[in-house]
Amino acid sequence: MAGVAGVRTAVLGLCAGLLAALLAGCGDDGDRAGPPAADPAAARALGDLLRQRSAAVRDGDEAAFLRTVDPQSGPYRREQRTVFRNLDALPLAAWTLRLDDPVPAGTGHATADVRLRYRLRGYDPGDVTAGRRLEFVRRDGRWYVAGPAPGSRPQPWEQGPMTVVRGTHSLVLGVGRPEAELRGVAAVADRAVPDVSAAWGRGWARRVVVLVPASQAAMGELLGAGPTDYAGIAAVTTGRTGTGTNTGANASTSANTGTGPGQGGGNRNRAPGPADRVLVNPDAYGTLGAAGRRIVLTHETTHVATRAHTTPATPLWLSEGFADWVGFGSAARGPRAGAPELARAVAAGRVPRDLPADGDFGRAADGDRLARAYGEAWLACRMVADEWGADRLVALYRAAGAARSRAQAVGPVLRAELGVGLDGFTERWRDYLKRELG
């Protein structure tokens, strides 16, 4: 099992915008030669077909759902029966499919983007929007769904029979994983939620939805990535920030976390954020010990809680450092145990001159620099909590997300919330690193 040092070494973050949000993509549209001649009648027919399909899901009517599927599609039709039963096990509060593309004229086949909006009752403060590119076929004057277009990204319930586990504060959706394993994930998530609420406050849904696919490769499919792109990454958090799409990931050889957003503070008039999902890589998560799993899911749950208050103005050192502060605090880990790479650098006299830049958290960063960036961010937030108080750290986070720009979110917010400018804050942080790690 990986130790705490492995957890810190393993943390890998992806900056906002480097990934499309989970369930938000429709596959690669490519370069199109020009808009085809549209067939309004076919578009109306496909719109009706999708409305029938949506109603069947909402009504729990398997026969009506299967009537929308091409009767000659063979294996796809059998897969759709499983899809329906997976959906029927979910606590759906809303489910609507809409045609996003015009339908070309003069053919009995069509390929078009379809937009799904859905919400899980009791878990999602807002709708999830999901895109899928589907193929349709017309037989005897009637249109049917014939299957996904090549390269179209699947949804979790389309990867095989799904097991749904309801925890006290969590909903875990697993495909191809033992139920006992999923209950273990739910138990860790159930501990993470109150830990996050104790740090951030109760002004969020206080529920988390966790997806556990069958394998690392299946995780890559959900994220539109290759089978090894998330090797060593134990979990990612996906969703939308206050002003745009954002996907966060953290991990590495042993653990990981995400990128976040939240609620409260300066953005009192902000609408509830859309739903987030924590996506677990079972291959990497399974190598962690109990402490590592708790750190990972607490970090990711922090990103869920803070989602509505993380915007492009929020520096990654603050969003990732805050999530680590909550995650490592839940396991009561000290600086040297939580940031061994940074501790070695500081002990050797290599004290960082500046707070980590957003690029230091990206995939282009080498492993050691990446680990040190996370340690630097965590200890910056830890310093604020130690020297100004935990409430001031939360206020700083919320004020940064409410700023109009990154420039306003750093120096001016630091001065307003802590009474010190960026240069003064950086010098105090460097002294803190020497004191805690030297």
Over the chain (438 residues), the average pLDDT of each successive run of 10 is 41 35 38 58 93 98 98 95 98 95 77 94 90 94 95 94 98 98 98 97 94 97 90 85 40 32 29 73 96 96 94 96 94 87 95 95 75 96 97 98 94 96 98 94
What is the rounded distance in angstroms from the CA atom of residue 24 to the CA atom of residue 29? 14
pLDDT at 125: 85
What is the rounded distance in angstroms from the CA atom of residue 54 to the CA atom of residue 414? 49
pLDDT at 425: 98
Q: Name the phi and psi angles at 318, rounded to 5.
A: -80, -45
282: three-class secondary structure by DSSP: helix
Protein fold of 40-152: Nuclear Transport Factor 2; Chain: A, (3.10.450)
Q: What is the DSSP letter of 38?
A: B
The CA–CA distances, whole Å, from 239 to 4, 135, 275 equal: 27, 27, 6
Q: Is residue 170 within 8 Å of residue 208, measured between CB atoms?
A: yes
Do β-strands 142-148 and 162-166 pair in parallel, antiparallel, or remain unpaired? Answer: unpaired
pLDDT at 368: 85
pLDDT at 117: 96
Report which of 392, 332, 341 is spatially closest to residue 370, judged by C-alpha positions.
Answer: 341
Take residue 284 and report the two structure tokens written for it: 């990497």
Q: Is residue 356 within 8 Å of residue 377, measured between CB atoms?
A: yes
Do β-strands 277-280 and 208-212 pair in parallel, antiparallel, or remain unpaired? Answer: parallel
pTM of the model: 0.84
CATH of 4-22+159-437, one of 1.10.390, 1.20.120, 1.10.490, 1.10.287: 1.10.390
For the chain, domain boundaries: 4-22+159-437, 40-152
